[in-house]
Chains A and B, each alone.
Chain A
Amino acid sequence: MLRRSFVLGVAAAALTGLIQTAVPSAASAADRFITVASTTSTEDSGLFGSILPKFTAKTGIEVRVVAKGTGQAIDLAKRGDADVLFVHHKPSEEKFVAEGFSTLRKPVMYNDFVIVGPATDPAGIRGGKDVAAALSKIATAKAPFVSRGDDSGTHKAELALWKTASLDPAKAEPKESWYRSIGQGMGPTLNTAAAMNGYTLTDRGTWLNFKNRGPLTVLVESDKRLFNQYGAMLVNPAKFAHIKAADGQAFVDWLVSAEGQKAIADYTINGEQLFFPNANEPGA
């Protein structure tokens, strides 16, 4: 008897667990929500936490954000696992549209990158306004530079900036020991740079929201080449039948509407504005 009751007990417990799991997920599936593939910079900087409740309050559409590097976010959208793509690497976004994964990319806003490094500044780049010159100095001084190395928008921007300095430490042979590619997100990259007294490129939003700065401080900023454009687009419903086209498009439209643009401009940390709406700027 005891045996049977034991087996039954285990089975009953397991079944209850499964049912409890199935019920809430069925209930939440009935709610109106869209899935947005976006980047760690928008999530970690707190922007989404500030603007999404305003959109949800107006439309009743819940926005579920999956925050990855730009490369990974694009891959996710290409598999049809997100309704909207909201990232920051214009060439990749235009390719996404050209390949038919979306019909229209809309420019939304920009923020900027800064070069941070140890306050002791062994490469002597502090206060410079020329990012190419600063990178050359870091390379000459062979000071540690931590690279995202994860195919994110920030990583791609970093590689492009090295090119403006006519350098390519990522591909150098023999390997440059001061150039450390760690293949991780912005936060872990800043943690690593702080721990090894290294320089790195970061978006200003993540930096302002980042708490474990250690010896790091902003050394180079405000070069035009450090501006970072964000674009949003609905994943093409013609490619994937399950895409929530109406609700997804409502989100993209809201982002570029006067209301959405104001919500973006209103987000500040310690009084500092992080993202600058520019949906109406031609060619952005």
Chain B
Amino acid sequence: MHDFSQAMALAVSMIATLDDGLMQIVGLSLRVSLTAVAAATLIGLPLGAAVAALIFPGRRAVAIVLNTLMGLPPVVVGLVVYLLLSRSGPFGVLGLLFTPTAMIVAQTVMIVPIVASLSRQTVEDLLVEYDDLLRVTGAGPFRRLATLLSEARWSLVTTVLAGFGRASAEVGAVMIVGGNIEHVTRVMTTAIALETSKGDLPMALALGLVLMTLSLAVNLAASLLKETGERA
């Protein structure tokens, strides 16, 4: 139990003193994961809605593939993005390996299937209610998707949060494509892995608690947003 109380005390003191090194790591974690979530939302929501509400050949197959990709192992995503961005890879000239941008790319690839799959389900459920109406008003496909997504917007907050949860918690992909470089690509999860490998378990655990606190803050903000929006 000593380890846990020590970790708790460390976590509280780090948050209370706004430790400089920690703030930098927290800032980068948020920047990387929130940007990845934003990009995945832009891609995933329309994609999910399209699979749910438009008729096209192979629609079922796409839905199943998206569901499967929700289970993409982060290490595999990291490896693939690494090979693509490596100087010897097809996108090597961009020089993106070991930068925050590479980490955003990897996390986006990882969470697009989550956002797309979950939003497909939400929109599909909603369609039962709205199908007739949309047909009567003669809405085109673009209009159709926009209407459904807009009507489902508050349910989709949870979908986006699921994506954020996966992005902010994973370590395998960002470790490979970011390289855990101090002050450049070190985020919460890779810092936790580093402290664990130094055998500083209380510090690792304390960082874990800070990460959970951060997640709590993001979820709280989303929940408030959702509540206010639903009431309006």
Contacts and interface: CB of A to CB of B under 8 A. Distances in A.
A188 B196 contact: yes
B119 to A, nearest CB: 12
Interface string B136-173: 00000000001101100100000000000000000000
A58 interface: no
B179 A3 contact: no
Contact of A20 (B35, B89, B181, B182): B35
B197 A185 contact: yes
A22 B34 CA distance: 14
B198 interface: yes
Nearest to A45: B198
A197 interface: no
Contacts of B95: 29, 242
A211 B100 contact: no
Contacts of B179: 64, 66
B57 to A, nearest CB: 27
* Interface of chain A, main secondary structure: helix
B95 to A, nearest CB: 7
B72 interface: no
Contacts of B99: 25
Interface in B73-117: 86-89, 92, 95, 97-101, 104
Contact of A210 (B98, B150, B184, B199): B199
Contact of B180 (A22, A67, A186): A67
A198 B225 CA distance: 53
B interface residue count range (under 10 / 10 to 19 / 20 to 34 / 35 or more): 35 or more
Contact of B87 (A6, A7, A81): A81
Most buried by B among A10, A21, A187, A194: A21
Contacts of B45: 10
Interface in A1-33: 2-3, 6-7, 10-11, 13-14, 17-18, 20-22, 24-25, 28-29
Contacts of B88: 79-81
Interface in B30-46: 31-32, 34-35, 38-39, 41-42, 45
Most buried by A among B39, B150, B194, B199: B199
Given A7-B146, A20-B35, A81-B98, A212 B201 contact: yes
Interface string B185-203: 0000000001011111100
A3 B150 contact: yes
Contacts, number: 98
A96 B102 CA distance: 27
B86 A186 contact: no
Contacts of B197: 40, 44, 185-188, 191
B198 A209 contact: yes
Nearest to B201: A212
B118 to A, nearest CB: 16
A213 interface: yes
A213 B199 contact: yes
Contacts of A25: 99-101
Interface string A79-99: 111000000000000000000
Contacts of A10: 38, 41-42, 45
19 contacts: A6-B150, A10-B38, A10-B42, A14-B42, A17-B35, A18-B35, A21-B31, A21-B101, A44-B197, A79-B86, A79-B89, A81-B97, A186-B197, A188-B196, A190-B199, A191-B197, A210-B199, A212-B201, A213-B199
Given A25-B100, A65-B182, A211-B199, 6 more contacts: A3-B150, A21-B101, A44-B198, A187-B196, A191-B199, A211-B201
